[in-house]
Amino acid sequence: MRWRSPAGPLAHEHRVIERLIAVMREKLELLREEGRVDPTFVVVATDFIRTYADRCHHGKEEDILFRDLAEKDLSEPVAEAMQDLIQEHVYGREVTGRLVQANAAYAAGDTSVLPQIESAMQQLVDFYPRHIEKEDQHFFKDCLEYLTPEEQQSMLLEYDEFDRELVHEKYRAVVESLEAGAG
């Protein structure tokens, strides 16, 4: 699939994130019905959020798109929207971190953290659809007018390189973690 603008791959990634959030919404309902959660699901979901949604997707936005837009003479609404999105990324990281911590305690037998898990999952289920809608329906359309076709093409190439490096970064860290545990 060849994209014509930097918004294309980012919007495509949003569709994948939405799928995870839909599953998380289902697991949240089960937690409320059954009074328990599958800690393995939470590990997988938070790894997805940290790696795919945050490091990969938000990484492209922050390290490439926002970086290039910061060099432009943006209108006040576009500049403010970009700053809001950056703060939302920070919020998503904080909530995900709380979910990881609560899940680790739950997996170790502490059921008193279930309300924290429920709260963090609810916050993520509420956050991502609003965040994605803001980017898809407003920000991406507004920001592309500041980038020439050549800048957009360059950005797409940089996205590709970012993705290639991310895979290596992720699995280097996995091996390093396993090596540290083996010794």
Domain assignments of the chain as residue spans, ordered by start: 7-177
35: left (phi over 0), alpha (psi -120 to 50) or beta: left
The pLDDT tens digits for 96-123 are 999 999 999 999 999 999 999 999 999 9
* CATH class entry, domain 7-177: mainly alpha
Please check the confidence at residue 183 and state whether its pLDDT lies above 70: no
Query: pLDDT confidence of 17, banded at 50, 70, 90?
Result: very high
Which pLDDT value is given to residue 178? 87
Amino acid identity at 155 = M
Structure token digits, residue 74: 């943006």
**What integer pLDDT is reported at residue 66 of this predicted model?**
97
Q: What is the pLDDT of residue 1?
A: 58
**Global pTM value:** 0.91
Highest mean pLDDT among 5-19, 101-115, 139-153: 101-115
Residues contacting residue 123 through CB under 8 Å, at least 6 positions apart: 95
Residue of higher predicted confidence among 164 and 132 = 132
* Residues whose CB is less than 8 angstroms from the CB of residue 155 and which lie 6 or more positions away in sequence, other chains included: 6, 64, 65, 68, 147
